[in-house]
Amino acid sequence: MLTNSSKYALKAVLYLTLHSDENHKLQVKDISEKINIPKAYSGKLLQALAKRNIISSSRGPRGGFYVDEGNKKQTIMAIIDTIDGRKKMDACLLGLDACNEENPCPLHDLFASSRSKMIKVFEETTLDDLVGSLGSKDLFLYK
């Protein structure tokens, strides 16, 4: 479904959404330790996310990564797309290029409705939404 990379990216962005803002930037080291992923690897992912404006960053002393109000309008799908590429989500279960609604593979109809529901949720759910639904319980799992 998702590569390791986009799982990591999702975790990192969620962490930033909950624990950072313009005045509380976090460094790669802090983030990677908290969410239990290799530092150098998370650095790379965070850079890719910042370039696409999913998250924000600033260099130099007191710099770091953070999520501002604008970033919170980003969706889960935007994160996945940045790291894995959107196409993978739409791909035929059997990997058939020619498979689609009009020309479905034998598994297409079994799978299509679940998948499109899932994709819709990913496209429509923003970081704001996620944080909202968590309410006050900060606790979630990074392992």
Which residues of the chain form contacts with a second copy (CB under 8 A)?
1-2, 4, 7, 10-11, 14, 76, 93-99, 103, 105-107, 109-111, 114-115, 117-118, 121-122, 125, 130, 133-134, 140-143
Of 47, 57, 19, nearest to 142 by C-alpha is: 19
What is the contact surface with DNA in residues (CB under 7 A)? 3-5, 8, 26-29, 37-41, 43-44, 46-47, 50-51, 57-65
Compute the least distance from the CB of residue 1 to DNA, in Å: 11
Q: Which does 50 bind (CB under 5 to 8 A by kind): DNA, a second copy, none?
A: DNA
Of 33, 35, 57, 38, nearest to 46 by C-alpha is: 57
Measured in whole angstroms, the distance separating CA 27 from the mean position of its chain's CA atoms is: 18
Compute the least distance from the CB of residue 19 to DNA, in Å: 13
Residue 4 or 100: the one with the smaller Cβ distance to DNA is 4
Residue 3 or 100: the one with the smaller Cβ distance to DNA is 3
Q: Which does 51 bind (CB under 5 to 8 A by kind): a second copy, DNA, none?
A: DNA
